[in-house]
Amino acid sequence: MKLLHKDIEKDNAGQVTLMPEEAEDMWHTYNLLQVGDSLRASTIRKVQTESTTGSVGSSRVRTTLTLCVETIDFDSQACQLRVKGTNLEENQYVKMGAYHTIELELNRKFTLAKKSWDSIVLDRIEQACDATQKADVAAVVMQEGLANVVLVTPAMTLLRAKVEVTIPRKRRGSCTQHEKALERFYEAVMQAILRHINFDVVKCILVASPGFVKDQFITYLYKEAVRQDNKILLENRPKFMLVHSSSGHKYSLKEILSDPTVTSRLSDTKAAGEVKALEDFYKMLQHEPDRAFYGVAHVEKAADALAIDTLLISDKLFRHQDVPTRSRYVRLVDNVRDNGGNVRIFSSLHVSGERNLIHVLTHRDND
């Protein structure tokens, strides 16, 4: 995301102009938008025209509209964002108050105006525009006949490809069909990796499976890379890391990121840090329950007592349409930060934040 202009007054009203540069920027934009905001962007409008002879035709024209946001629709798999609302500024194609839907596009700027920019939204902009916070982890979670190729970004866990191949069982005296099917499966997984993983950005590719499937796949991958003289795979061989998982389904990713060897390898990534923070909470809840709290009421009491060391909270809570409810969570985060506590905001589209969590770890001296 690129920040082109920022104009926020002392009363926190104002506007920013941003340009989304990659698919994940649409997720950040979704978290910035709220019902009642003003969104100005380029869009396509179908208009009817009447000729001098009276015949009526229609055409699609590009125009710039300013909408009062009413509905926000985000497609997490396609990373597409559509915003519906009423037109605030009349132009030659659209009347005042007319409904329109804008689909925000990559590399096209938009201007977002709010009556009040709170700290959570401003932090989101800073995070989205930070060039260092990009997808640097990929994972291939597999078992015989099933593989999920996933990108782990700072905010999202994106399924990029799902490979399914039927593998016949081994027959007594002949394994030919079984081995041919496995080879087809490994070839499809290799092509999915080459198609969906940007080796210039990704620092580590986790290959996980139960049993020896991962080992057999890596052996096949390196053998094919040498045979085909595939320089991309050969040069990036050190980035591949083998990890055990209980299955080849996407939900096993949380288990993989919790592995201590993986955590140490990914110590500089946000993904591993969030999973570790959640694991620390569950461990404390089990062994030192007096220091671990969850639920809004209990967390707020801990904040009032200045007892919070780390607050874990889902970004889904900040998309609440009820302004007082949203403001309650914003005040809580600001209170914790102002009193020296740590705040981790989990993405609801990330493997670590799929629930509406709000947990805290308290200081030891406040037991």
Domains within the chain, CATH numbers bracketed: 2-129 (2.30.30.870), 136-266 (3.30.420.60), 270-362 (3.30.1330.30)
Helix/strand/coil (H/E/C) assignment for every residue in the chain: CEEEEEEECCCCCEEEEEECCCCHHHHHHHHHCCCCCEEEEEEEEEEEEECCCCCEEEEEEEEEEEEEEEEEEEECCCCEEEEEEEECCCCCCCCCCCEEEEECCCCCCEEEEECCCCHHHHHHHHHHCCCCCCCCEEEEEEECCEEEEEEECCCCEEEEEEEECCCCCCECCECHHHHHHHHHHHHHHHHHHHHHCCCCCCCEEEEEECCCHHHHHHHHHHHHHHHHCCHHHHHCHHHEEEEECCCCCCCHHHHHHCCHHHHHHCCCCHHHHHHHHHHHHHHHHHHCHHHEEECHHHHHHHHHCCCEEEEEEEHHHHHCCCHHHHHHHHHHHHHHHHCCCEEEEECCCCCCCCCCCEEEEECHHHC
Residues 112, 18: contact at Cβ < 8 Å? yes
Nearest of 293, 301, 323 to residue 115 by alpha carbon: 323
Q: What is the average pLDDT score of the chain?
A: 86
Between CA 269 and CA 196 the distance in angstroms is 20
Between CA 305 and CA 256 the distance in angstroms is 36
pLDDT at 271: 59
| Sequence-separated (6 or more) residues with CB below 8 Å from residue 352 | 254, 257, 271, 274, 275, 277, 278, 346
Residue 25, both tokens: 């920027």
What single-letter DSSP state applies at residue 171? B
Q: Which of 9-23, 153-167, 292-306, 328-342 has the lowest mean pLDDT?
A: 153-167
pTM of the model: 0.59
Average pLDDT over residues 143-160: 85
Between CA 311 and CA 299 the distance in angstroms is 8
Between CA 191 and CA 161 the distance in angstroms is 10
Residue 11 in this model has a pLDDT that exceeds 90: no
Length of the chain: 367
pLDDT at 88: 95
pLDDT tens, residue by residue, 264-322: 676 555 556 677 778 888 889 899 988 988 889 999 999 999 999 999 998 888 877 77
pLDDT class of 189 with cuts at 50, 70, 90: very high
pLDDT at 132: 47
Residues paired with 226 in a beta bridge: none
Between CA 246 and CA 142 the distance in angstroms is 10
pLDDT class of 154 with cuts at 50, 70, 90: low
Residues paired with 143 in a beta bridge: 146
User: How far is C-alpha 291 from the chain's CA centre?
Assistant: 30
